[in-house]
Structure 1
């Protein structure tokens, strides 16, 4: 497959450094995909459609009798996704998009068509403020299922962001961001004691850290059949407090339906966490610090992009620095007051 401009989508990142530019890598990757498809009795029927981003190489391959499959390659910062995706398919079948093949050593995945995106379902159907309730409850149940596997997840390379260590992560993220305005940097440093208190409150709740998707918006899950959802795209994931996952889907639902939807969605997410001796009121209170601390997951994810292009000046801000700074600033913004 040639790197034909008509087939390659580079989006807003025309200078993103990816391995796609290396013809040897390209031949090896596409050859692996063809071989793995052949092992499933499938064959590619035409040229692929390529999407290049700092965080992935994605190739949509037409397959005889099956529509399309997707080859995905991750950069070093999210190289764990291939092994994680394969492991999740074993530990929680039916809840995640199971790969056709995974090469953890090379960070390569071959993924089937997962059906209709949840976002497309929402766009097509009449507005239903309750639409997020079932996927959030299913996702929380998945997080609980994974609690015994946290040591295995760490061995797979999923980054750790333990609740009790989030203040240290916050310090590093603030110190290392090159584009934070001085006033915002000062406000964030002044916020640090409160942030440490939020972490202590969550840790005292007694719910252990588990897998946090960290970017669970409505384009990150499929709805293959009514009432059943499959989650995918784990490249931003971390091992942290599970409740931090609520921020991103809550923001997506709030943008679509307004803030009044959030208490119902909060309760739908929390329902699988009941029954462990914690009162509903305690769980609801814990969502307030978790809402704020979920922001750190987004900051950290943006910081795991590919490095800046080699032809940029040495002091150029790396990709993702501005996005990370915006999420950091949300921590001290009045607009970030948790509405749940």
Structure 2
């Protein structure tokens, strides 16, 4: 029999320690998922490590997928925020760039910044059907309890079978719909990633277990700038934005900036991630840059025909409720849930 290194099946709830900081088409009424900032301070973090027997063989979604299941939560859009006071949303998703509030502002980029190891193509989008299927499943399965806004799912590392040994189990511990999403991403990203990076994210024979973290964010919430824990997660991170877009901010990490010496002035980029988009962080983008999302209800974004750094051609885009799915590789011992060691 092959050796299978597996995480024990369990579902754990504990007070959330999240320090980090979907279009207005008709959809199901999900108002019960919206919580006031004060109420959202007492959140629960749900950690789900399913056993193979807990996983349905198939996920069916016969509902009408023409409308986004997250629409109707709110007109603004976000997915990486901490509770904060929310500004009232504007009545329109787009606002005039002539507003005096844009004085001195530089619109967020619509394309990937020149950061080594960061891959982002704004026109490379998941299909609406795939996005809506994933959203519906996650909302119905993990976010049906009010004010739960973060879920961690841990896969299992299954060692390859030894010659002549029995066939290893086919499940990885992640639900089928997320495994299908990974297969979709594998083919979707193949033309745009260097072979080395693609192999890092989608190896033919995995040597580590994956973690998927699901975050549901209300407008006005954000995630503090951070580098994902160096002692817990390996290289190669995939981020999927569903339901709504938001601006993600990248800044050179302090240690990398200090190592650069006197020549290095502060470097920072704001990038707009539209709904159904995918971003990959690897190498320097993963280890040498922080990423975060400001606590705003709308974002100032460059016009499609504007040049880089143009401070006049921009538009405001309101945020809505956003579902983020992040896939990361677990390092040895990272399956132990408890007090997190501070990142170096």
Q: TM-score, normalised by structure 2?
A: 0.24
Superposition TM-score, scaled by structure 1 size? 0.25
More helix by share: 1
